[in-house]
A and B are shown apart, each in its own frame.
Chain A
Amino acid sequence: MSPAYLLRRLLAVALVLWIVTIAVFAITMILPGNAAIMILGEYATPDQVAALEERLGLNRPAAFQYFEWLFNLLQGDFGMSLRLSLPVSEVVGSAFRNSAMLAATALVTVTVVAVPIGMLAAVKRGTKADLGISLVAYVGTAMPEFVTATLLLVIFAAPGNPLLPAGGFIPPGESVAGFFNHVILPAGALGLILTAHIARQVRSEMSDVLASDYIRAARLKGLRERRVIRGHALPNSLAPAVAVISLDVGYLLGGIIVVEEIFAWPGLGRLLILALENRDLPVIQAITLLLAMVYALSNLLSDIVIAALDPRVRYE
């Protein structure tokens, strides 16, 4: 992979993020409801509101506020949370760590489960195993996270004899067992739809590979089926699998909003819903930007991995 390719991709990511800052800022500027009134309560006098707006800088022109905000962002300053009176970086930082733990657990589990299942279905195409996997995957992709989460709670966390806790969070630093106990249900709710989707996509990509001419050539020259699969089909299916997983990261980042709310997981999703309810603009802006950044960087990472796996991409 050439440095020029990497540089071009990095520039593209930077451009995308800059456009996101404009979109995020524009959206938060037209949010109804006045942050000053939200802070002071509905009985505030107009004078008090005006004074607070002055202090928070909410009464200046939008373009001025945007550039000031962008300038501060570049220095790592996300402003103060209007509601919590704490620096946004502090509030969002700890929530980000908690969300990252949940998302990473879900993503690793999904990858480990979904990719082999999808490949198995493709290799056993047309058999009962394939039919079973495809059926489960189809049903799985049709279950929104809140339905999966609710059903998981009913099955595993009924108050009489709960197998797993119904919500909450224990930092792994405090108790590793406690952390895993609490992460299983939310990660499961996040993971089911993703597992189903990724398994289906991997099956379809691998089926294309298995139908290709070089696989036919490998079979015709008398290689055993195992060699054909391991030596030829598998390596060529990895790059598409990485592409599918990285696209689903965007879906995962949306899913954590609902799942964290249901399982009382103190992460970005829960914080976002609280911030939206309170019109806490700096927090909303920071979270949206952060999630977009994670998504853009994960796409970049996957492009690099794909280029490393597949020489055809590298030399294009």
Chain B
Amino acid sequence: MSELIRHPTGMVGAGLLSIIALTVILGPFIAPYDPQAFHPAVRLTGPSAAHWLGTDQFGRDIFSRLLTGASPTILFGVGATALGVLAGSIIGVTAAVAGGWVDSVIMRTLDGLLAVPDLLFTLLIVTILGGGIGEAMLAVAVAFTPGMARIARSSVLSIRTREYILAAIARDESRAYIIVQEVIPNAIGPIIVEATIRVSFAIMIGATLGFLGLGAQPPSTEWGLMVAEARQYMYRSPWVVAVPGIAIAVAALGFNLFGDALRDAFDPRRRRR
């Protein structure tokens, strides 16, 4: 852990993630205004003492909307990734442990699914499920599953012939014991690294779906939806689109930096440099 913080990318990443976490938890309580309240007198005004980040087309306080929008935006990314990692790990570990034709069938199916671009896959599933933030989250999770399954499988395969596994087999431990006690704890590193980096992708895809009208629905303050709703006014008041847009980038950046630092910490080959 200290290794993580000492590295500058890890330090900045951890800092950004702390700010993001605080915003998600405290945002709704420290918002100076009701994020949905219309203030017709101050429509599309720039940053001022009363409205730190200005107001939108209905005179709603952008700073308050940003603070309350952190939770649908960020928790979407974390939730979708967690579901995808869980499903992918189960499939990947099953394939690796089973081997033989089960492994072949699973892997070839995954190859086929991986040939479809993530966003396209997500759009197809969202269309099946219908738009909405829960449906969009499930769709991103499904789209992430094949990639995570591959990583989980290769991670398990890489440790399959290690001495501690062979020792457990020699001790005549049960299959379940070996998987739960020996395989999973040792194979989980690369999965966690990949998951952290994927949260940033999930946040970006979620915001993109919100932007396309297929994710969060009004009056949600999800950041992608905020950009979409303000687009009509973007030439008159650029900050209405810039503020939520930059917020998405900062959140994605935090997970990216932290994920990279995690990878360096897990990979002794890279740690030296």
- State the A residues within 8 Å of B (CB): 12, 15-20, 22-24, 27-28, 30-32, 138-139, 141-147, 150-151, 153-154, 158-160, 207, 211, 250-251, 253-255, 257-258, 261, 272-273, 276, 284, 288, 291-292, 295-296
- Looking at B119, B238, B273, the one whose CB has the most chain A CB atoms below 10 A away is B119
Q: A19-B108, A139-B249 are in contact. Are A276 and B123 (CB under 8 A)?
A: yes
**Could you say which residues of chain B place their CB within 8 Å of the CB of A154?**
234-235, 238, 241-242
Would A288 and B212 be within 8 Å (CB), given that A23-B116, A142-B200 are in contact? no
A160–chain B nearest beta-carbon distance, Å: 8
B116's closest neighbor in chain A, by CB?
Answer: A292
Q: Does B103 make an interface contact (CB < 8 A)? A: no
Please indicate the chain B residues that have their CB under 8 angstroms from the CB of A284 in the complex. 124
Known: A254-B117, A258-B119. A22 touches B112 (CB 8 A): yes
Give the interface SS of chain A, mostly helix, strand, loop or mixed: helix
* A291 x B117 contact (CB < 8 A): yes
From DSSP, what is the main secondary structure of chain B's interface residues?
Answer: helix
- Alpha-carbon distance between A159 and B236 when the two chains are bound, in angstroms: 9
Complex partner residue of B115 from A17, A142, A144, A258, CB under 8 angstroms: A17
Q: Are B112 and A145 in contact (CB under 8 A)?
A: no
Q: Are B117 and A16 in contact (CB under 8 A)?
A: no
Report the interface size for chain B: residues with CB under 8 A from the other chain.
43
Residues of B at under 8 Å CB distance from A?
108-109, 111-113, 115-120, 123-125, 127-128, 130, 200, 204-205, 207-208, 211-212, 224, 227, 231, 234-235, 238, 241-242, 245-246, 248-253, 256-257, 273
Extra contacts besides A31-B127, A142-B253, A150-B245 (7): CB < 8 Å: A19-B108, A19-B113, A27-B124, A28-B124, A30-B128, A154-B238, A276-B123
A141 to B198, CA, bound (A): 12
Chain B residues with CB under 8 Å of A18's CB are 112
Residue among B116, B238, B245, B251 with the highest chain A CB neighbour number at 10 A: B116
9 contacts between A and B (CB under 8 A): A19-B108, A20-B116, A27-B124, A138-B253, A142-B251, A143-B249, A143-B252, A147-B245, A207-B273
Residue of A nearest to B245 (CB): A147
Contact of B117 among A12, A144, A159, A295 (CB under 8 A): A295
Query: Which residues of chain B are near A253, meaning CB under 8 Å?
Result: 117, 120
Q: Which residues of A contact B211 (CB under 8 A)?
A: 146, 258
- Chain A nearest CB from B148 CB (Å) reads 16
A146–B224 CB distance below 8 A = yes
Task: Give the docked Cα–Cα distance between A19 and B107 (Å).
Answer: 11
- Check B234–A153 contact: CB distance below 8 A: yes
**Which residues of the other chain, A, contact B249 by a CB distance below 8 angstroms?**
139, 142-144, 147
- Name which residue of chain B comes closest to A29, CB basis: B128
| Bound CA–CA A191/B109 (angstroms) | 31
Bound CA–CA A38/B212 (angstroms): 21
- Separation of A292 and B115 alpha carbons in the complex (Å): 5
A288-B207 contact given A142-B200, A151-B242, CB 8 Å threshold: no
